Structure 1
Amino acid sequence: MDSLVAVTGVTGDVGGKTLDKLRAAGVPVRAIVRRTDQADALRARGVDARVADLGDPQSLAAALDGADQLFLITAATTRQAEHGANGVRAAQAAGVRAIVQLSGGDAAEHSPLPWASAIWQIDELVRSSGLEYTILHPSGFMTNLESSAPALRRGIFPQTMGRGRIGWIDTDDIARVAATVLAAGVHAGEEPVLTGPALLDGRGIAESLTAGLGRRVRYLHLPSRAFAGMLRLSGVSSWQAEGLRRQFGRVARLGLDGVDALTSDVERLTGTPARPMSAWAHDRRAVLLGED
């Protein structure tokens, strides 16, 4: 189906990769960004870019004019639920036919994680919007492990998840699914759960990193509050550090809200299996180990 796809969050990981994959497939795509300089940089690459803010429904509706589908990506902030609601309402106002919502594998109404409860609220609005939709529920992003790079260079992976297991996924696989779904343009309320090929606990992550980096990495278990303190020292906000403490110290450890799900939905939807963490780590060796 040859229809214009609008994408928010294109300056982020999943949004940027999805934009590139859609363009490579010849799908007409429009990037929605917050700043003029971001739009100018995208236009210099030949991308249709519009300036709008998820905090401003009117500007967003104008930016979505003429779009057939919206890939809605919202950042994990204190305003995430508001931004998602604005995205849904702007799509309705602009006459968008369908929404693909980037949710999460842990979306839950009463989650102790602020972003998990926020995306649940957005999911509910998408379901009741009257628009066609697909909701993607990815597991933990492997990319988030890059914040542990300084420790990995010392041969340790400090975490607080213990034996809790997550089906960690390469964000490139999420983008492959999103681009495939958007390129097809067919939406029937499906909500695939996107995971990597294995459930990994803290030690499993360390073993996968060891295999991919060719250097021994040892899991170092931290009490959850010590983990949050480490995050604060690295520059993470108190709001996010507390959320991550709960995410790994409670939700992941106890397997709450479906975080220990394992599926083959990536392969089912794209024809290619999800990549293992060892392959991801090998490709990201320069970033993780600070090597050229």
Structure 2
Amino acid sequence: MTTLVTGATGNTGRHVVAELIRRGERVRALTRDPAAAAGRFPAGVEVVPGTHTAPEELGAALDGVGRLHVTVTAGLAEAGPELVRRAVDAGVRRITVVWGGFVGPVEQAVADSGVEWTRLEPQEFMSNTLTWTESIRTEGVVREPYDHPSALVHEADIGAVAAVALLDGGHAGRAYNLTGPESLTPRERIAILSRAIGRDIAFVPITHEQAVDRLTATGVSRADAEYVIGWYAAAGADSRTVVDTVERVTGRPARTFAQWAAEHAERFRAPRVTAG
């Protein structure tokens, strides 16, 4: 049986692909640019063109697919329910969905689809730390408006849980809150990163409004920017409470932020200056 993974080149999708291949499954990876993405996947992955925000164009991609993995992203709220309908009509019988932070139209469409589904509810990705890359590399600083703790989860653990839910029984109708093994403030993450790259990193507080403006400067709508920064301002208990879901589902402990930092350390190191 073939599994179609949408958002296959994204921070979580690529780990779903890798874990399914590791388990010997047939995987079809959906991406806008197959030529550019082909070298990023393990051997054996079938790379197909398309985007989950245009489900009317996915007839060929869904052909022969029995399982579907969806990551809710900006722009999917309108197209997502149609994607789910077309997938079920095409023969998909099991769906995993990584939520967008709340149960919106896509998540509800999956729950109402009539097929087996599992919703993955990570509170915050460790990969969000990559937004600090440039300021750490060039200035040795991180600028954030809040220093609240968060139980971040490694993207590879999301991929591992998704693979188990897609391939094994006993996960239908479940909503899995996913966290790492520890709750860390930005300052604590900075200290771990500092040790990983061998360089001091300073924490520089900024205002809520400055954080919103920084996000809108990247092309994010003001409403979405307010939502994201507002989440950090008033994050609920779920965001900082460590749970053992990853270990219960996969049989092994969740990865630590120190592991993530070691894996990505080179991306945070200042570029070397060579003598001319």
TM range (shorter): 0.7 to 0.9
The residue number in structure 1 matching 2:125 is 141
User: Given the alignment of the two structures, is residue 174 of structure 1 paired with residue 158 of structure 2, yes or no?
Assistant: yes
- Residues 238 and 124 of structure 1, relative CA distance in 2, 3 Å threshold: closer
Q: Distance in 2 between matches of 1:32 and 1:136?
A: 20
State which of 8, 27, 30 in structure 2 corresponds to 1:10. Answer: 8
Query: Matched residues, percent identical?
Result: 28
Q: Return the letter of the residue paired with 1:183.
A: L
User: Given the alignment of the two structures, is residue 158 of structure 1 paired with residue 143 of structure 2, yes or no?
Assistant: yes
The list of structure 1 runs, each at least 4 consecutive aligned residues, that deviate by more than 4 angstroms after superposition, is 38-45
Matches within 5 A, 1:240-251: 243-248=224-229, 250-251=230-231
Deviations 1:23-71 (A, max 9, x none): 1210111122334535766899442233333233333244212111101
| CA contact 1:54–1:86 (8 Å) conserved in 2 | no
The residue number in structure 2 matching 1:26 is 24
The residue number in structure 2 matching 1:80 is 76
How far apart are 1:245 and its partner, in Å?
A: 4.7
The residue number in structure 2 matching 1:126 is 110
Q: Return the letter of the residue paired with 1:85.
A: P
How far apart are 1:193 and its partner, in Å?
A: 0.8
| CA contact 2:69–2:96 (8 Å) conserved in 1 | yes
- Residues 225 and 36 of structure 1, relative CA distance in 2, 3 Å threshold: same
Gaps of 5+ in 2: none
TM-score (norm 1): 0.82
How far apart are 1:190 and its partner, in Å?
A: 1.0
State which of 237, 259, 268 in structure 1 corresponds to 2:219. Answer: 237
| CA contact 1:169–1:195 (8 Å) conserved in 2 | yes
- Residues 226 and 39 of structure 1, relative CA distance in 2, 3 Å threshold: closer
- Aligned alpha-carbon RMSD (Å): 2.6
Q: Distance in 2 between matches of 1:49 and 1:168?
A: 30
The residue number in structure 1 matching 2:61 is 63
How far apart are 1:230 and its partner, in Å?
A: 3.4
Q: Distance in 2 between matches of 1:267 and 1:187?
A: 14
The residue number in structure 1 matching 2:252 is 272
Aligned pairs, number: 271
The residue number in structure 2 matching 1:50 is 48
How far apart are 1:222 and its partner, in Å?
A: 0.8
Q: Distance in 1 between matches of 2:255 and 2:40?
A: 29
3-state DSSP class of the match of 2:53? coil
Q: Distance in 2 between matches of 1:272 and 1:11?
A: 25
State which of 87, 93, 104 in structure 2 corresponds to 1:91. Answer: 87
The residue number in structure 2 matching 1:111 is none
- Residues 277 and 40 of structure 1, relative CA distance in 2, 3 Å threshold: closer
Gaps of 5+ in 1: 109-119
